Amino acid sequence: MLDNRLIEADATKLDELREILKAQENSDKLCGIGMKEIHIEHGGAKKVCQAVKSLTDGKKVLMVTGPTEIVDVDGKNVKEAVKAYLDAEYDVEWLVISEPNSIVHATPENAAKIQAHFEGKDIVVGIGGGTICDLCKYSTYYYDHENPLPLVIVQTALSVNAFSDDSSVMLINGVKRTVHSRYPLILIIDLDIVAAAPAEMNVSGYGDLIATWTAPVDWYLGNVLGMGQHFHTAPSDMIRTQCDRLLEKSEKLAAGDAKTLGELANVLTLSGLSMGLANESSPASGSEHVMSHLIDMASGVRKTGICYHGTQVAVSGIMSEIIWDWLLNDFDPKKVDLDKCYPSFEEMEPRVKAAFDWLDDTHNAANECWADYQKKLQRWHDHKAEFKAFLENFDEFKKAVAPWVKKPEYIADCMHKANAPTRYSKLNFPVDEKTVRWAITNCHLMRNRFSVIDLLHFTGFWTDEFVQKLIERAEAMDAGL
């Protein structure tokens, strides 16, 4: 029976949320929430001094931002306003992280640029989107694990869920990696700032939540097959109902309805917390995210521009929904020849490397992917018994996950209503067909985490023809390429 308090969770009431989580079954398997406060309110940015004061007696603040100008609903420059609030009480150094093309990447190099300014500082205040947040979390954590500088984040768009978790998605050796970092201690979401963000950025946050209908099932599947750990129903139960409501309000979101934006802020923040609770990003990042990560890697090499994370994830989410729909309706476990499901390391190494070798001359990306993939392959070989049991009890599995998935047609329909792009070619940086096919076909080869695509690959269903059928079904719902 679902706990009503859990499904109606409020991200701004952290103590209450901790109590609710403690009351769940097997709550000892959940990690704690390493945050002090979350504010989601109109005029929230004015609380920045109060937030700093609650974390340090020191006076030296490092304010970190990206290069782009951000204004609130009244047209006021957000970064200058926050700087002015802080200046009234603190000694503030404003550090702007920028790159030649003015698109900032979350790289260890940029983190080092931030760390170079930590000496003598008492606190870091990051203002911006997901990349600035990831960089602030990563740089403070890796500068001093034991005693990281306190961190306040002023979130300027509802673009991703990653503001309220303890990891950072970093571009390392050209490969997107989710690495453990830390939580911001205080997160401020000023609804007057996020309401003024470009519509596609808030649609991106809505898109990041599309993963709610695939990532948890990928996570559960991995758990059933002995391929993952930490599975718990609470992190996803906490957001599913509110996500469902948000889908029903897709048109209101497109119209910029203030109340709906507030609801998006809450569920997006809860989605971030769900990853921290699980101690991994699995509740909110499955096969749909890994497709998107590959597209980012290709775009990085081809310099075609990195799309808004969530909008790209959502298009990939439709693809993952189609795959799940196929698994739950068309997969016949009796057709699986168990002994043919275990490719050798000798067979897989050249295959994985061939998929990623074109990304760089140094082979770094290919080596990085193979290093991670072989751990998954080893575990797959080691857990044959679980797979055998899965095939025998497939109906039971289907019954368990049925309430957690949605029909891809329904998701695509909601995304159309939300004005969210449903095609890769309609993203803010259009992705060409060749890249899309490469990303979908090879995404399972990139990392250690198990998803439905690994299952289809090991059972021999994951072929170019299968990917083609996937694309055709998406096409019928005005989605995909």
What is the residue-wise DSSP string for 324-372? HHHHHHH--GGG--GGGG---HHHHHHHHHHHHGGG-TT-HHHHHHHHH
Q: Per-residue string for binding with Zn ion, 354-373, x by CB under 5 A?
A: --------------------
Taking CB under 5 A as the rule, which mask of x and - marks residues 302-341 in contact with Zn ion? ----------------------------------------
Instruction: With H, G, I as helix, E, B as strand and everything else as coil, classify residue 95.
Output: strand
The 8 Å CB, 24+ separation contacts for 254-258 are 254/199, 254/203, 254/417, 254/418, 254/419, 256/195, 256/199, 258/191, 258/195
CB of 306 to Zn ion, least distance (A): 13
Let me know how long the chain is: 481
Q: Which stretch binds Zn ion (CB under 5 A): 7-15, 96-104, 179-187, 200-208?
A: 200-208
Residue 452 Cβ vs Zn ion, minimum distance, rounded to whole Å = 17
Rg (CA), the chain: 22
C-beta of 140 vs 214, nearer to Zn ion: 214
DSSP state of 478: T
Strand partners, 126: 64, 153
Structure tokens at 86: 């802080």
Closer Cβ to Zn ion, 190 or 208, answer by number: 208
| Residue nearest Zn ion (C-beta atom) | 208
- CB neighbours of residue 8 within 10 Å: 11
Site for Zn ion contains 288 (CB under 5 A): no
Q: Which helix (H) or strand (E) holds 110?
A: helix 108-115
Instruction: With CB under 5 A as the rule, give the number of residues binding Zn ion.
Output: 1
- For Zn ion, the closer CB: 125 or 209: 209
Footprint on residues 202-231 left by Zn ion (CB under 5 A): 208
Q: For Zn ion, give the closer residue by CB, 47 or 309.
A: 309
User: Is the Cβ of residue 236 or residue 459 nearer to Zn ion in the bound state?
Assistant: 236
Q: Residue holding tokens 């957690």?
A: 404
Of residues 115 and 181, the one with the C-beta less far from Zn ion: 181
Binding site for Zn ion (CB under 5 A): 208
